[in-house]
Structure 1
Amino acid sequence: MDIPGDEPDLDAEIAQARADVAAGRIVEAVDRLQTLIEVPIYDHRLHYAMAAALGAVGDVEGQRSWLLDAQTFHALQAISEQDGVDMARFVSEPDYALQIGDQAYADGKMGLAAAAFGQRAAAGRDVLCDHAMGLSLLHQGRVQEAITAFTLAADTYKSSIAHEFLLYACFFAENGVRLHAAEARRWAQLYAPPPQTCPSPIPTSPAASCGSDMSPHLLRSQLNPFIVPVLENHDLDQLDVFIYCADPKTEIGIRATAVRGIETLSDIDAASLIASDGIDILIDLWGHTADGRLGSSP
């Protein structure tokens, strides 16, 4: 097929491809569309037409793949026109796609962000990009797609932190609590095996019972509005409260019997410290998120 200059009559070419499909000339239609796509011409109508051509010969998988591309491309084109995205660079330059993704995410445009991060990921996997794509999907309510992205990242990078993003996403799925519990057990098997030696707790009398909260940050984290009122209204004469955090200097003013810093301690040493304080009730407030210390529980 001859394409005059750089500006083929796209409407006429698509109409001819559709006519070829209607007449049973599938090979001609596919060749015509493929030539236009490879120019490259960035128009979602070409992808829809290709899906229709493959569907006409019963290529269900091919049709599904091209239809998904068409839908993604269609939405992306509509969004990108508003944001001044250079589509030629978007599909050919991974770093440009990543730049667009970062900016779109910062602007709260999660549809464009997810598409951009996906485009970047197609050129080579990157842990930060994969997580950003998963988060941008999750922010749109595309929970199952986010779980798929986070699962791929967790299985690819074999990292406890990478896996923690998956744990959070599980809460939003159907039967999320059960799904999260199962995934949390898998996380524990991979990254938090029981310590070989565990310090024995120091016995305490009921009158000297102690409770404690464990979190890297309290006053300057999202926990502040929840835990601070509890501590301010707690009677320390009835129950001592120990705080185990990253750096006590960041928790100045918090109401507690004592504030311990465990950021520089190993899990075993942190567990020994907690046991030596005679803690009866230990509450972890950070869970499977970055800087969590689940392995420090004695």
Structure 2
Amino acid sequence: MKKNSRKPVAKAKHPQASAATGGGRRSATAPASCAAAFGVALGHHQAGRIAEAEAGYRAVLHLDPDHPHANNNLALILRGRGGHAEALACYRRAVKRTPDDPHLHSNFGCLLVDMGQAAEAQAALRRAIELQPDYAEAHFNLGNALRGANDLDGALACYTEALRLKPDMAAALSNMGDLLKGRAELSRAVEYFMAALRAAPQMPEPCNNLGETLKEQGRITEAVTVFQKGLGVHPTHAIMHSNLAFALNYTADVPVEMIYRVHRHWAERHADPLLPAGRAHANDPRPDRKLRIGYVSPDFCAHSVSFFVEPVIREHDRAAFEVICYPCSGRSDAVTERLRAAADRWVPIVGLSDEAAAARIEADGIDILIDLAGHTAENRLLLFARKPAPVQVTWLGYPNTTGMPAIDYRLTDGVADPVGLADQLSAERLVRLPHGFHCYQPPVVALQPRPPVLDSGVVTFGSFNNTSKVTAEVVRVWAEILKRVPNARLLLKSRQMGDDETRARYRNSFITHGIDPDRVELLARIPAADGHLRAYDRLDIALDPFPYNGTTTTCEALWMGVPVVTLAGRSHVARVGASLLTNVGLEELIASDEAEYIAKAVALAGDPAALAGLRAGMRARLEASPLTDHKGFTRSLEAALRAMWRSWAERGG
């Protein structure tokens, strides 16, 4: 369900840190052997013998506690394993001894960024640039710091300066591309990623981000090819492998069985080896006691996932369940504050390694741990791989299996995953909720009661899904609908349409199918939430893409009175639309193949009275449906969770 812009992306945000090579100034009491000891430690460091290097630097610091370069290099090692407090002390000693060393200030700034001390980090990096204006790495690091503080214009200026000084600086090229991608300047982003790969062919980040950007442009086959080639070079890159699995969900020509196998291969390579042998949990196995539920998500904010999880967190029966939220992203807004207030406990795991986060969750005594991200951005699947809770579940955020046996269950329903093939395509055991697996919290916005065709005489079809879902097959079918309704128009809106080249490519694709470009309107993202929702007032009929159906967009369209025509496919990703429409009583809008999809859309376009009736009654229909029955859905979910717990308890814990 997640917006594709939130797909997992490996950003090349790694700071350019420098290991000091000089001996530095020694204190008057330091023995002459100090410089030699530092040289030996540095040799170990450069050869990759980290334990020996650390021991050597500590020996130097025993002789000369303020040795700037030993402090710097030890801090680099400590920072690499999360030892931030000791690394901070090292840098403070080093900077005090050698206040005019730009490399020390730059490295110090990188550590401070990691520690969330944004103002001091920026001050340290600006000091490095003041001391050495042509220090490209310091400009790059300051760009990362500013980007982390959401000063995107400042970050852009810093990356630009770093590249002026070092035009082939691959990390800066990659981060510039990623920043442009975030601004929907997708074509420019592709150029920067390709330049980064030319400068550093073995660097994984630009390869990964290039694949992601091609996917956002709707160039799915090219994206899959990039990921596959990248994994040939970087077979242990879990995020790139995740992105390949995710990208395959958009393809119509790859068998669902093969897509399942890619997900299992991801788990076999990256997750399964992390599951401790003979894993036992100390949780109290009494079947009817109060349970502690943990939700893990990077999207506890104004994001699609929160539209569906917020009412559940709010409505949980606190006599039977304690709710702990584990946010794994630093993004925060008004929705975050509502969720924080609704949860019993709020335990951020941002910055914690998967191992440390798993240990924290186990120490919290979580009975059932629920993943809300799957193979999407900033997911923590490798935390779940360590099995910190006795029962683990995935739900909502990803339209396919995680591929992980360490996750016991996946929540779904009988329409999205009919009994049979779906069970064979899931590494988790499927638990089918009786009235759909979605619980939608609709926005507070007025309904426009009349479909626009009644005033204009022209039917407007539309889709506000991300371009990743609008594949060549979808364009072909939508073009056929326009041919059969000669005066109809099509309105497509997505963030990615803000990119000129992407917009031109889609316009040309409709021209190729014989559609006058004046009949197709392509809109970029409308920033204001009410502006986005008001855009539905322009639609008579929403067209669900396939094989990757919409979720939030379908719920929004229905809430705004717009009927949605969907095509039900073979797997979950292609049956979410059918699930939603079934649970609001609109089964007549579900097609079983392309021909029926076209026929239903054309027939509805030719019946203005039916459109008017649907629009007038849509709000009441949704309000009476299981989709917006927050308490009823939560009780159903809780019953499923309780059954999972009892099953674990009956097995002896």
Residues 298, 378 of structure 2: 8 Å contact kept = no
Q: 1:223 aligns with which of 305, 311, 316?
A: 305
Could you tell me how far apart the structure 1 residues matched to 2:182 and 2:327 are? 30
Task: State the shift of 1:149 in Å.
Answer: 0.9
Aligned partner of 1:189 in structure 2 is 268
Matched, 1:166 2:244: yes
Query: Which letter maps to 1:166?
Result: L
SS in 2 for 1:287: coil
SS in 2 for 1:206: coil
Residues 276, 386 of structure 2: 8 Å contact kept = no
| Cα distance change on mapping 1:112 and 1:258 into 2, 3 Å | closer
Query: Which letter maps to 1:255?
Result: A
Q: Deviation digits for residues 152-185 of structure 1, max 9, x if unmatched? A: 2233232222322223222212258655432222
Task: State the shift of 1:203 in Å.
Answer: 0.4
Taking the TM superposition and a 5 Å limit, the aligned residue runs for 1:1-298 are 98=173, 105=181, 108-125=184-201, 126-157=203-234, 158-174=236-252, 175=254, 178-192=257-271, 193=273, 194-200=275-281, 201-216=283-298, 218-219=300-301, 223-246=305-328, 253-262=340-349, 263=352, 266=356, 269-270=359-360, 272-273=362-363, 276-277=365-366, 279=367, 281-288=368-375, 289-292=377-380, 293-297=383-387, 298=389
| Cα distance change on mapping 1:119 and 1:285 into 2, 3 Å | same
Could you tell me how far apart the structure 2 residues matched to 1:144 and 1:254 are? 43
Task: State the shift of 1:240 in Å.
Answer: 3.0
CA RMSD of aligned residues (A): 3.8
Could you tell me how far apart the structure 2 residues matched to 1:102 and 1:213 are? 29
Q: What is the aligned length?
A: 203
Deviation >4 Å, runs of 4+: 93-104, 175-180
Residues 228, 254 of structure 1: 8 Å contact kept = no
Could you tell me how far apart the structure 1 residues matched to 2:206 and 2:261 are? 26
Residues 290, 319 of structure 2: 8 Å contact kept = no
Query: Which letter maps to 2:370?
Result: I
Residues 293, 369 of structure 2: 8 Å contact kept = yes
| Cα distance change on mapping 1:176 and 1:211 into 2, 3 Å | farther
Residues 243, 256 of structure 1: 8 Å contact kept = yes
| Cα distance change on mapping 1:188 and 1:271 into 2, 3 Å | farther
| Cα distance change on mapping 1:95 and 1:259 into 2, 3 Å | closer
Residues 295, 370 of structure 2: 8 Å contact kept = yes
TM-score, structure 1 length as denominator? 0.54
Task: State the shift of 1:284 in Å.
Answer: 0.8
Could you tell me how far apart the structure 2 residues matched to 1:229 and 1:150 are? 37
| Cα distance change on mapping 1:176 and 1:122 into 2, 3 Å | farther
Residues 287, 294 of structure 1: 8 Å contact kept = no
Q: Identity of aligned pairs, percent?
A: 23
Higher helix share: 1
Could you tell me how far apart the structure 1 residues matched to 2:262 and 2:358 are? 24
Query: Which letter maps to 1:196?
Result: A
| Cα distance change on mapping 1:178 and 1:218 into 2, 3 Å | farther
Query: Which letter maps to 2:308?
Result: F
Between 156-165 and 105-114, the greater mean CA deviation after superposition:
105-114
Residues 147, 170 of structure 1: 8 Å contact kept = yes
SS in 2 for 1:243: strand
Could you tell me how far apart the structure 2 residues matched to 1:107 and 1:221 are? 17
SS in 1 for 2:300: coil
Q: Deviation digits for residues 229-266 of structure 1, max 9, x if unmatched? A: 22123332243323234599x76633233344553653
Task: State the shift of 1:186 in Å.
Answer: 1.4
Query: Which letter maps to 2:385?
Result: G
Task: State the shift of 1:109 in Å.
Answer: 4.0
Residues 98, 117 of structure 1: 8 Å contact kept = yes
Query: Which letter maps to 2:279?
Result: C
Task: State the shift of 1:133 in Å.
Answer: 1.4
Residues 198, 268 of structure 1: 8 Å contact kept = no
Could you tell me how far apart the structure 2 residues matched to 1:188 and 1:159 are? 12
| Cα distance change on mapping 1:140 and 1:217 into 2, 3 Å | closer
Structure 2's unaligned 5+ residue stretches are: 1-166, 390-653
TM-score, structure 2 length as denominator? 0.27
Residues 170, 176 of structure 1: 8 Å contact kept = no
Could you tell me how far apart the structure 2 residues matched to 1:218 and 1:237 are? 24
Residues 219, 254 of structure 1: 8 Å contact kept = no
Could you tell me how far apart the structure 1 residues matched to 2:187 and 2:255 are? 24
Task: State the shift of 1:291 in Å.
Answer: 5.0
Q: Deviation digits for residues 174-214 of structure 1, max 9, x if unmatched? A: 25865543222212112212223523243033242443312
Between 176-185 and 123-132, the greater mean CA deviation after superposition:
176-185
SS in 1 for 2:385: helix
Residues 161, 290 of structure 1: 8 Å contact kept = no
Query: Which letter maps to 1:266?
Result: A
SS in 1 for 2:227: helix
Query: Which letter maps to 1:139?
Result: E
SS in 2 for 1:161: helix
SS in 2 for 1:212: strand
Aligned partner of 1:53 in structure 2 is none
SS in 2 for 1:283: strand
| Cα distance change on mapping 1:110 and 1:256 into 2, 3 Å | closer
Aligned partner of 2:473 in structure 1 is none
Could you tell me how far apart the structure 1 residues matched to 2:277 and 2:358 are? 9
| Cα distance change on mapping 1:122 and 1:232 into 2, 3 Å | same
Aligned partner of 2:42 in structure 1 is none
Task: State the shift of 1:119 in Å.
Answer: 4.8
